[in-house]
Amino acid sequence: MRIVVLAGGLSTERDVSISSGILVAAALRQKGHEVVLLDVFTGYEENICDIDALFKQNYSFAEKASVGKTVSDISEVKENRLDKSHRFIGANVIEICSEADITFLALHGGEGENGQLQAAFDLLGIKYTGTGYLGSALAMNKGLTKSVFVQNKIKTPVGDIFKSISDAESWNTFPCVVKPCSGGSSVGIAKAENKEEFDAAVKDAFKYENEVVVEQFVKGREFSVGLLGGKALAPIEIIPKSGFYDYEAKYQAGATVEICPADIDEKTDKLLRSCATAAYNALHLESYARIDFLLDENGEAYCLEANTLPGMTPTSLLPQEAAVDGLDYAGLCEKIIEISLEKYDNK
């Protein structure tokens, strides 16, 4: 097959996306596919774009990448684009993706995950992996996600959405968790034990977005459940050594202990898988996803959020869960493509 792996972009998770994209492209090439790895923002900026040649030479815009302890410098990325345009889709991206059998979305956050790119590709007839525009939009906005969970009686922490620092002054329940409404990779997320910490956390969260979600802190164990084709995989338990699963804990090797399959009884395993499936269906997700949970001391599962384009980095959770089902990394990449193509066959 001819496959474009689309990575990069302009979100705070740019480095995570590039790391995912490089690994996905390499795995698919090992399976014998012709793969072009493109940055969705910079695209292919050469004067002559021979698309056939790009696929035959397995073109990549990046050969290696690592995820640092801090988020990407987006201003530098914008400055380095040759045409200096701030359009999200870069040069020749549409043309190259149109010549592929499918585009593997290795994007995280921002326009790459919130449904905008998916809607554009739908209009252009470009096939892509993962959830469509509606589910992507619902899952990306944590406020909308929480509303959908409540409407569908899926247990989730009590919370509220604020559109300004002054509006957030009304919150008075501690401890609590503050997070940007549409961010990912725990960027801008903080736990606040008191009003002083809360004010600082809210101010920081608003640096990333103009909407912030605040919810009651639920003390418990952290889990994640991946889904392939709507089928829930083995739950994975996440134990950050720092005590909080932030950006650094997610992507720095050795910063987190991850146990898969999780050390839980059959009843809890079924509960987490059932809740994950319910969340997947309620949010209109397709192909694959990952749902995050907290399990309190009473065995109650609180659904936190859904990730429609789960990370595929060396420390990511979904590949570990798939491995329990006997699916190695390259096999997982091909499986995602297979089930994503099925949604087009069914339309």
Assigned domain for 138 exists: no
DSSP letter (8 states) at residue 136 = H
Judgement on whether residues 250 and 212 belong to the same structural domain of the protein: no
135 within some domain: no
Element (H, E) at 261: none
Taking a C-beta distance cutoff of 8 angstroms, is the pair 105, 308 a contact? Answer: no
Instruction: Check whether residue 40 and residue 90 sit in a common domain.
Output: yes
Q: What is the pLDDT of residue 208?
A: 83
Tell me, yes or no, whether 136 lies in a domain: no
Q: Are residues 103 and 199 in the same domain?
A: no
Residue 142 lies in a domain: no
Query: How wide is the angle at C-alpha 332 spanned by C-alphas 91 and 63, nearest 5°?
Result: 40
CATH number at residue 289: 3.30.470.20
Task: Count the Cβ atoms, other than its own, within 10 Å of residue 331.
Answer: 16
**Judgement on whether residues 166 and 229 belong to the same structural domain of the protein:** no
**Nearest in space to 250 (alpha carbons), one of 226, 220, 222:** 222
Both 226 and 287 in one domain: the answer is yes
Assigned domain for 84 exists: yes
* Domain end among 198, 216, 234: 216
The pLDDT value given to residue 70: 55
Looking at the structure, do residues 164 and 257 belong to the same domain, yes or no? no
- Boundary residue ending a domain (216, 248, 264): 216
Cis-peptide, bond into residue 157, ω within 30° of zero? no
> Does residue 82 belong to any structural domain of this protein?
yes
Last residue of a domain, one of 167, 187, 216: 216
Q: Is the residue at 48 inside a domain? A: yes
| Per-residue confidence (pLDDT) for residue 210, from 0 to 100 | 85
| Location of structure tokens 């050390």 | 263
Quote the domain boundaries for residue 211. Answer: 158-216
99 and 166, same domain (yes or no): no
Half-sphere exposure of 150 (CA within 13 A, CB side): 10
Strand partners, 290: 226, 307
CATH number of the domain residue 200 falls in: 3.30.1490.20
With respect to residue 26, please indicate whether it lies within any of the assigned structural domains: yes
Domains identified in the chain, total number: 3
pLDDT digits (tens, 9 = 90+) for 34-73: 999 999 999 999 989 999 999 999 999 998 766 555 566 7
What's the pLDDT tens digit per position in 218-264? 999 999 999 999 999 999 999 977 655 444 544 455 668 999 999 99
- Statement to judge: residues 17 and 66 lie in one domain: yes
Query: Which CATH number is 89's domain given?
Result: 3.40.50.20
Q: What is the pLDDT along the chain (347 residues), one digit of tens a residue?
A: 999 999 999 988 888 899 999 999 999 999 999 999 999 999 999 989 999 999 999 999 998 766 555 566 788 888 889 898 889 999 999 999 999 999 999 999 889 999 999 999 999 999 999 999 999 999 999 889 999 999 999 999 999 999 999 999 899 999 999 988 876 545 678 999 999 999 999 999 998 888 899 999 999 999 999 999 999 999 999 997 765 544 454 445 566 899 999 999 999 999 999 999 999 999 999 999 999 999 999 999 999 999 999 989 877 899 999 999 999 999 999 999 999 999 898 76
H or E stretch including 213? strand 212-216
Shared domain check, 63 and 89: yes
- The answer on 233 and 292 residing in a single domain is yes
Residues 168 and 111 grouped into a single domain: no
Say yes or no: 245 and 318 in one domain.
yes
